Amino acid sequence: MADIKVRFAPSPTGYMHIGNTRTAVFNWLLARKLGGRFMLRIDDTDTLRSKKEYEDSLREVLRWMGLVWDEEARQSARIERYNQVVEDLKQKGRIYACYETAEELEVMRKRLMSRGLPPIYDRGALALSAEQIAAYKAEGRRPHYRFKLQPGTIEWTDMVRGVCRYDASNLADPVIIREDGSYLYHLPSVIDDADFGITHIIRGEDHVTNTALQIQMFEALGAKIPAFAHLPLLTGAEGKLSKRLGSLGVRELRAEGIEALAISSFLAKLGTSEPVTPFYSLDELAASLDLSKLGRAQPKFDVDELRAFNTHFVRNMPYELVRGRINADEGFWQAVRGNLNLVADAEQWQKICCQKLKPIVEDAALTATAAAVLPPEPWTTETFGAWIAEVKKLSGKNGKDLYHPLRMALTAAAEGPELKILLPLISADRARRRLLGEEA
């Protein structure tokens, strides 16, 4: 498995959204599961829309999520390599120049569709004479270039979709170079995958037709064809998730306090036949990866479901993952985590248990009685039961009339972890003073 290599190839034309974050997660997990390498490839050939701030942000997101990469490449640094391949494929007759304008191509497309035919390019450019080409150039037309597909069936076994077949005669020769000389996605991606030895490609199902086209490109290069897996696309409130549609991104989720491992766990199991359960290690999550359990239906991403899952994740989170993030020991974390929605919420309980606060005394007689019978330290979770039984007997109170005033005096908060859990975390001196209405 030492030669296994996968890649995540984002275009830095927007901030990472949940859809492409999911692609990154699956690729990283597959590389780790197979003992291979994970490559970050920046697809920045769109010079007008690519921005450094987007690239910096996607790198920050990947690092925060633990999706570290073993190597990286940048497409804008490889233009000369693409040009070399293009010249070779021109000589072999697999790339040809076309002079139709966008308006002319649109007229062709509408004409074919009106006749009930697929809008496939008719390869009219291959029949142009030298005189016609010279005339177009004299007009100032600049050609775009297409890759010429070979006739026959294009077939592969997809790791998610199973056997996929396309008849090349039903596919249009893809445009690979625009009139301005800039590259479209198809060919540079194939050249990179071939040159860098990419063995597995996981991407969205919107690339399935691209895969059929690119398989012929791999063949034209004499390169080994990678294994493909096409994930069903996530949908959201606005339909297909897209950075252009302004879908909620990882930056926003991180700012909310959502845990990185909660996001990875949620995305890795969403749309599979497996339950969405917390994983507290990326290695464990990778070991559980099974692409055969992905369904074909498009799963819906609901951010409220993720938030609820994050709460479940935090409330079962081992102390090792928060050590250094909270200023408290493991006993405190175990005591309060069951009442947290976010790790940051622990700070509130640190203040309650360990810092001075002004108590709220609603029943001074009750709290004074409770202070008088506080047992000596050390305290355990059993201390509260014996103490509250004595307070109940002496005060004659029970239920809300008993518990609520004690909670308000001890914590100055109406809700939170059980008092039997909190009491051992509050020193006897501090508890006594709070019950007597003193700031402590």
Q: What is the pLDDT of residues 314-369, one digit of tens each?
A: 999 999 999 999 988 898 899 899 989 999 999 988 888 888 999 999 999 999 99
Q: What is the pLDDT of residue 205?
A: 96
pLDDT at 138 over 70: yes
d(CA 47, CA 45): 6
Q: Ranked by mean pLDDT, which of 181-185, 264-268, 416-420 comes out on top?
A: 264-268
Q: What is the pLDDT of residue 55?
A: 96
Task: Please state the rounded mean pLDDT for residues 28-38.
Answer: 97
pLDDT, the chain, mean = 93
pLDDT in tens, 205-255: 999 999 999 999 999 999 999 999 999 999 876 666 554 434 578 999 999
Q: Is the pLDDT higher at 129 or at 331?
A: 129
Task: Please state the rounded mean pLDDT for residues 423-431.
Answer: 90
Q: What is the pLDDT of residue 246?
A: 43
d(CA 389, CA 391): 6
Element housing 251 (H / E): helix 250-256
Q: Is 300 helix (H, G, I), strand (E, B) or coil?
A: strand
**How far are the Cα atoms of 36, 54, 83 from residue 99, in angstroms, in the given order?**
44, 35, 20
Extract the runs of DSSP E, i.e. beta strands, from 57-197. Answer: 71-74, 95-98, 144-147, 153-158, 162-167, 175-177
Q: Is the pLDDT higher at 401 or at 353?
A: 401
Q: Is the pLDDT higher at 427 or at 321?
A: 321
Starting at the edge strand found earlier in the chain, the sheet holding 95-98 runs 95-98, 144-147, 175-177
Q: Is 438 helix (H, G, I), strand (E, B) or coil?
A: coil
Task: Please state the rounded mean pLDDT for residues 99-114.
Answer: 92
For residue 69, count other CB atoms closer than 10 A to its CB. 19
Kindly give, in sequence order, each residue whose CB lies less than 8 Å from that of residue 234, ignoring residues fewer than 6 positions away: 18, 19, 22, 240, 241, 270, 271, 298, 299, 300, 301
Q: The tokens of 93 are what?
A: 């007759």
pTM: 0.89
pLDDT at 1 over 70: no
pLDDT at 271 over 80: yes
Domains defined along the chain, listed by start: 5-72+189-234 (3.40.50.620), 80-177 (3.90.800.10), 239-321 (1.10.1160.10), 356-435 (1.10.10.350)
Q: What is the pLDDT of residue 424?
A: 87
Task: Please state the rounded mean pLDDT for residues 390-411.
Answer: 95
Task: Please state the rounded mean pLDDT for residues 59-80.
Answer: 97
| DSSP 8-state class, residue 148 | P
Task: Please state the rounded mean pLDDT for residues 77-88.
Answer: 98
Residue that is written with structure tokens 């893809």 in the block: 174
Q: What is the pLDDT of residue 416?
A: 80
Kindly give, in sequence order, each residue whose CB lies less than 8 Å from that of residue 301, ignoring residues fewer than 6 positions away: 18, 234, 235, 236, 241, 270
Whether 42 contacts 12, CB under 8 Å: yes
Task: Please state the rounded mean pLDDT for residues 391-402.
Answer: 95
Q: What is the pLDDT of residue 48?
A: 86
| DSSP 8-state class, residue 175 | E
